[in-house]
Structure 1
Amino acid sequence: MGKSSSKAGNKVPIPQTTPAKAKKKTKKSNKIKEQVAVKNSQIPFENSPIYDLLQFFEKAPDQWTARYILILTAIILRSAVGLGSFSGQGEKPINGDFEAQRHWMELTIHLPINKWYFYEPLYWGIDYPPLTAFHSYLFGKLGSLINSDWFRFFTSRGLESSDLKTYMRYTSLISELVIYVPALLGFISIMGKKLNLSRMYQIVISTIILCQPSLILIDHGHFQYNSVMLGLFLFSLVDLIKGNYILASIWFMSSINFKQMGLYYAPFIFAYLFSKLFTNYYDLGSDRSVKKLVTSFNFKKLIAIGLAVIITSIVIISPFIILPNCSRAETLNVLKQILIRVFPFERGLFEDKVANFWCTTNLVVKYRDIFSINQLKKITLLSTLVAILPPCLMISYKNIFNPKFSISSSSPVKYLSLIYGFAATSWGFFLFSFLVHEKNVLVPLLPSTLLFIINDKSKISMIQWINNIAAFSLWPLLKKENLVLQYVVVILLSNWLVGGFNMKLSNNIFFPRINWFWNLVISASYISVAIVHFVDYFYLPPARYPDLWVILNTTVSFGCFSLFWLWILYQFYKL
């Protein structure tokens, strides 16, 4: 008992913590807390089904599995949409865009290159730039090896066999997997590093963007290859972020030489690159001055970028110069014909009904009755310049005079400004330029959708809203092509994935936490969308106004697009 008491009386020495160790421990604890806080703040989709699925692969060794799930999800969704009908199916003799793409494959593999842009203008003549023609040639040759009947000259017109449809769907899917998907993943990766986003959050964002309804429904339902042009633009954007301006210029020229819609981005990239040729005012040192700023202009880099643009253009059109072995006059005529086909101003102000300013206000002012085509060209040019000038001026000022855009600054603002600027400029083009198609909404929609990467639930709600409205603006086209089921399922799926149907309002992604105005606008727009869908699907329009439902669609869409464009401009201004 005494022995036991003796043991009990022995004091166990308590480790002493020195002030230095305590300070180090506190710092480590604070650092862990900061990391946890950052990690939590990086998951605005934490209550969404897509995060619930992918969070199980958050450990580094499992993240490759998440990437495979991402790619497989994209393939399955696109393949499922591709099982439906396509543009112009069964509508003889002209059919639609599916037949246009097939026909281009047919004529490029059978005609000499100098005849490509002259052949049959009334039956789906090639009206896209040369890279599209080369793309058609490649898949036309591959398809002919599988089944020569698919692209037999002239006699294959209007062919719609199931095996041809499968092949054409594969060409669109492969094109997207080879160009668009790697470009998007590259963009998410580099922006993830700039914004300090976790790898898992990057995968979640990639999945959400790859499930964008509009691009899937147009490329894999309606049938086109927009993903190639958009993917080339994304490669350009990635190199702009890296500061590889020459390579960015090459990618961008490739983009507009695949589809001329890429020109929607051109004014902004010009303003961005030109302003980057100056040294930022705050990088000039303590003796900075306006004179020193002006003399900092980098003429060597200007020449290098200019040469990259010129050489890329020459390389792309060189087959039309070298291969035909034509006279100089004939070659010039071929190049002139390419420009005429690519920029068909004679078609008019707009085709069909589209959610831009001219089509919407044409209800009140009949522009084509008042003005000639030449006058309308000038009016639309002026209005487009007014619309795109603000973002171009803002990026020029920010690159030169904003300290956040200096080389020494680590602020992510200078990278986000690229996305905001491209979005604002391309929306200005879509809303006010000449000869706009409803499918052109894909151009401003891409940089807008890239803003999902911003760690802000309110902004994410705005991005999801405009994606829904953009898909709604395509409804008349998709309904006409019997893609109603695909339209409904893809839109519901994309909204479900981001948590749009979460019954807890604080976690619901549908409504932003900005102010009452935007909640009112978004609520009113969704109610309007529901009403238009209801009357359009269940009731015929009045005989006197056969396009009434379509006009309601374009009017609602135009109103939403305009407000979103102003919001983008304001957000860009605040950066």
Structure 2
Amino acid sequence: MIVQVTIIVTAVKFLFMPLYRSTDFEVHRNWLAITHNKSIDEWYFESTSEWTLDYPPFFAWMEYGLSLIAKQLDPEIVKIENLNYASDVTVMFQRFSVIALDFIYVYSVKKCSDLLDNGKLLVFILLVSNPGLLMVDHIHFQYNGFLYGFLLFSIAHMIKGNFIQAALWFAILINFKHIYIYIAPVYVVFLLRSYCFTVSSNDGVHTPWYSFSFVNLSKLALITISVFALSFGPFIQQLPQLFSRLFPFKRGLCHAYWAPNFWALYNFGDKILHVLYKRFGLPTSNNVASMTGGLVQEFDHSVLPSIRPNITFVLTILSMLPALIKLWHLGADRRYRSMSFIRCIVICATCSFMFGWHVHEKAILMILIPLSFLSVLGEDDGKYYLLLSSVGHYSLFPLLYPKNLASIKLFLLLTHCAMGFVNIPSLYEDPKCKKNKKRAFFILPMLNWIEILYLYGFILLYIYENLLHSFLGFNKILPFLPLLMTSVYCSIGVFYFWLSYYYYFLTFNLSRVPTLLTPRTLQYHQKMK
């Protein structure tokens, strides 16, 4: 069944090859040309195209490897001056490169699903057929799949107690795409607590004492430093320039399309206050228009205090602290602590999504991928996955704005929702309970009435965006209104998820949280004890 699912999903990816592709397609073609023609001391200085290289060195080396193949197929691909070059061979090669690298992701999903005793096929299907990855990587065009493969490799090793391998894969991941540094605090806390400190108590009643292993800390430091040295070592003379590319703070608080996070609600509130101030004759600036112009740029708010990068950094760290403290103080039962590690990844990824600087809408996948794995490990995890997967995947719709893609993205979302809402609740329902079998078709299982009504609100939102907005003639005078509505409405759902799941994480009782790990996996934990 796993092979069949993989073949079907891969076939769908091939069908997407001729569809719309974003400017990210030219971004990666340009990176092929830069890495192929320039020496490494020029990679992060080259600026012929506006799409300059701004990923860590490991990703740049991957582009270099792909450029060697690309040149054999069409030498024009790797010419720097060939801006926006998109021959049929170029399109097929770049599309196929994403599909080929996705097998790393498929393999990692298989390794993670093998750790489960129940729901392993469901987890495999949910992850491999993730509509967000299909839309972002195989239509919009990016390389995210194999990166999440590295993340899942790391998580699988962490569950099995292979801490060095887990740290290795995560260090590699960061040196491919630095956005994953947002969840690095989870790794630091968990590895220190689980690998460098051991807890001892004579009678289980008195306060436990900690013994510290300098050897284990040295191993972690050695593997991490080695990976970063291998990555950044060749660029040691140009680190300031490299870091200026990796962290371009002048891009502004929000992306062109507001990611559905706290800042979308903040911007919306500022816009409402701006209108009210004008109506009542109160002094205000005219900066509000720049927030909805679809451009990547810095701007100041009209009424509310303007936000700078240091503010977002502080808010992000502060929002993570309770979860990290909870992770440190968890009980000694490693069967549950490893699951809490993944839950903490979800929490901290959500914190960074909510409060980070210049967050892209695609970053929602950093929350959804590990949450997909958790969906079969607890009833609350399953419930929150059903809610956030519906909201998060819908929030990606504006990326695929051509009208001919409307049916495709809607089909991907509804198919994935159907698989989730049908199969996840069945893991937790009592088969003897007749009430479960008499549920009305419009009642979404596991959700309360408020959550159900909120999700059905997406039907009205979709109808307005795709039919009523142009029918009412607003497409010329308010062209960005649908984007604003999608961002704000999805922000409400993501914000609700963040608060609810955070509360669940901080208050759950480990003894009541089920573990569905296989007996083979549990043997690892017995050995560690």
* Fold shared per TM-score above 0.5: yes
Alpha carbons of structure 1 residues 397 and 371: separation in structure 2 relative to 1, 3 Å = farther
The yes-or-no answer on 1:494 pairing with 2:419 is: no
The yes-or-no answer on 1:343 pairing with 2:247 is: yes
The yes-or-no answer on 1:436 pairing with 2:351 is: no
Residue type of the partner of 2:61?
Answer: F
**Counterparts of residues 369-518 of structure 1 (less than 5 Å):** 369=301, 376-398=308-330, 402=331, 405-406=332-333, 412-454=335-377, 456=379, 459-480=381-402, 483-498=405-420, 506=439, 511-513=444-446, 515-518=448-451
**Counterparts of residues 38-437 of structure 1 (less than 5 Å):** 66-87=1-22, 96-120=23-47, 123-154=50-81, 156-177=82-103, 179-190=104-115, 192=116, 196-197=117-118, 201-277=119-195, 279=197, 281=199, 283-286=200-203, 290=207, 293-294=209-210, 296-320=211-235, 331-332=236-237, 334-354=238-258, 355-365=260-270, 368-369=300-301, 376-398=308-330, 402=331, 405-406=332-333, 412-437=335-360
Superposed CA deviations along residues 132-183 of structure 1, whole A, max 9, x for unmatched, are 11111111111111221222342x3211222211111100001111x21111
Superposed CA deviations along residues 110-143 of structure 1, whole A, max 9, x for unmatched, are 1111101100175210011111111111111111
* Partner Cα distance (2:317, 2:54) in 1: 25
Residue type of the partner of 2:474?
Answer: P
Q: CA deviation at 1:546?
A: 2.8
Equivalent residue for 1:570? 503
* Partner Cα distance (1:491, 1:471) in 2: 7
* Partner Cα distance (2:78, 2:124) in 1: 36
Whether the 8 Å CA contact 1:278–1:297 is kept in 2: the answer is yes
Residue type of the partner of 2:105?
Answer: Y
**CA RMSD in angstroms, aligned pairs only:** 2.9
Q: CA deviation at 1:507?
A: 8.9
Q: Secondary structure at the match of 1:362?
A: helix
Residue type of the partner of 1:492?
Answer: L
Alpha carbons of structure 1 residues 467 and 110: separation in structure 2 relative to 1, 3 Å = same
Residue type of the partner of 1:115?
Answer: E
Q: CA deviation at 1:106?
A: 1.1
* Partner Cα distance (2:503, 2:381) in 1: 12
Q: CA deviation at 1:345?
A: 0.9
Q: Secondary structure at the match of 2:400?
A: helix
Equivalent residue for 1:550? 483
Whether the 8 Å CA contact 2:21–2:141 is kept in 1: the answer is yes
Alpha carbons of structure 1 residues 223 and 373: separation in structure 2 relative to 1, 3 Å = farther
Q: More displaced, 554-563 or 511-520?
A: 511-520
Whether the 8 Å CA contact 1:81–1:217 is kept in 2: the answer is no
Q: CA deviation at 1:531?
A: 4.4
Q: More displaced, 124-133 or 76-85?
A: 76-85
Q: CA deviation at 1:569?
A: 1.3
Q: Identity over the aligned pairs, expressed in percent?
A: 24
Whether the 8 Å CA contact 1:255–1:262 is kept in 2: the answer is yes
Q: CA deviation at 1:69?
A: 0.4
TM-score, normalization: structure 1?
Answer: 0.75
Residue type of the partner of 1:301?
Answer: N
Query: Aligned pair count?
Result: 469
Q: CA deviation at 1:391?
A: 1.4
Whether the 8 Å CA contact 2:196–2:213 is kept in 1: the answer is yes
* Partner Cα distance (1:391, 1:571) in 2: 11
* Partner Cα distance (2:192, 2:469) in 1: 48
Q: More displaced, 481-490 or 156-165?
A: 481-490
* Partner Cα distance (2:385, 2:144) in 1: 20
Whether the 8 Å CA contact 2:2–2:124 is kept in 1: the answer is no
Whether the 8 Å CA contact 1:277–1:297 is kept in 2: the answer is no
Whether the 8 Å CA contact 2:386–2:421 is kept in 1: the answer is no
Q: CA deviation at 1:344?
A: 0.6
**Counterparts of residues 11-30 of structure 1 (less than 5 Å):** none
Unaligned ranges ≥5, structure 1: 1-65, 88-95, 321-330
Q: Secondary structure at the match of 1:254?
A: helix
Alpha carbons of structure 1 residues 210 and 536: separation in structure 2 relative to 1, 3 Å = farther
